[in-house]
């Protein structure tokens, strides 16, 4: 029976490369000359700690980081900027977490969307992925096309396609 897995993964090496390229670009920019800028990636927790002098520089830094990460193949939706920046002395600090893996509530939303689509497939949650099985590969491809338009706010990848 044909099946595939819906996952939401971020490659740690690609994220590390994006952070390093961002830091290199920011240090060479004229508007950041002499500024205090710190970008630190915690690879185990998938969190990026940022320290800058003001809000404008924080927004510019995040724009550069997201664009560089996008070039590395990381979707912009992977960055969770829900925590607001906080002032620490003269510096503005923000912690940006990178979504890696499907959370249980996101997996439930995906299964619900698949059931509402009316396609003849079955979806099951297995740890941090959703396995979709069907009788025909065409049905699975329709699920993939439909999922691109759901707008769940999480980056999805499709892997392990078997026939």
* pLDDT digit string (tens) for the chain, length 163 residues: 888 999 988 899 999 999 999 999 998 989 888 889 999 999 999 999 999 998 999 999 999 999 999 999 999 989 988 888 888 888 999 999 998 888 898 899 899 988 988 889 999 998 888 999 999 888 888 888 888 888 888 888 888 888 7
Task: Identify whether residues 85 and 107 lie together within a single domain.
Answer: no
Q: Would you list the DSSP string of 110-138?
A: HHHHHHHTT-SEEEEEETTEEEEEESSHH
Q: Which of 98, 117, 138 is at the close of a domain? A: 98
Query: Rounded to whole angstroms, how far apart are CA atoms 11 and 17?
Result: 10
Query: Rounded to whole angstroms, how far apart are CA atoms 150 and 69?
Result: 23
65, 18 Cβ separation under 8 angstroms: yes
Q: How many CA atoms lie within 13 A of 142 on its CB side?
A: 16
How many Å separate Cα 5 from the centre of its chain?
17
Question: pTM above 0.95?
Answer: no
The answer for 73, left when phi > 0, alpha when psi is -120 to 50, beta otherwise, is left
* Domains in the chain, number: 2
Domain that holds residue 87: 12-98
Q: What is the CATH number of the domain that holds 19?
A: 3.30.70.990
Tally of CB atoms within 10 A around 109: 17
98, containing H or E segment: strand 91-98
Task: Identify whether residues 94 and 106 lie together within a single domain.
Answer: no
32-65 pLDDT, tens digit each = 888 899 999 999 999 999 999 989 999 999 999 9
Task: Identify whether residues 90 and 139 lie together within a single domain.
Answer: no
């Amino acid at each position: 029976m044909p099946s595939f897995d819906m996952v939401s993964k971020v490659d740690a090496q690609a994220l590390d490369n994006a952070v390093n390229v961002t830091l290199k670009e920011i240090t060479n920019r004229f508007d950041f000359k002499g500024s205090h800028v710190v970008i630190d990636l915690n690879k185990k927790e998938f969190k990026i700690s940022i320290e800058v002098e003001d809000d404008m520089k924080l927004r510019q830094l995040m724009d550069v980081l997201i664009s560089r990460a996008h070039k590395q193949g990381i979707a912009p939706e992977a960055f969770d900027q829900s925590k607001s920046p906080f002032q620490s002395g003269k510096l503005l600090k923000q912690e940006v977490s990178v979504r890696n893996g499907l959370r249980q509530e996101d997996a439930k939303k995906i299964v619900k969307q698949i059931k509402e689509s009316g396609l003849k497939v079955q979806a099951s949650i297995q740890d941090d992925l959703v396995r979709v099985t069907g009788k025909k590969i065409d049905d699975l491809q329709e699920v993939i096309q439909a999922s691109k338009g759901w707008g769940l706010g999480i980056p999805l990848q499709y892997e392990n396609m078997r026939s």
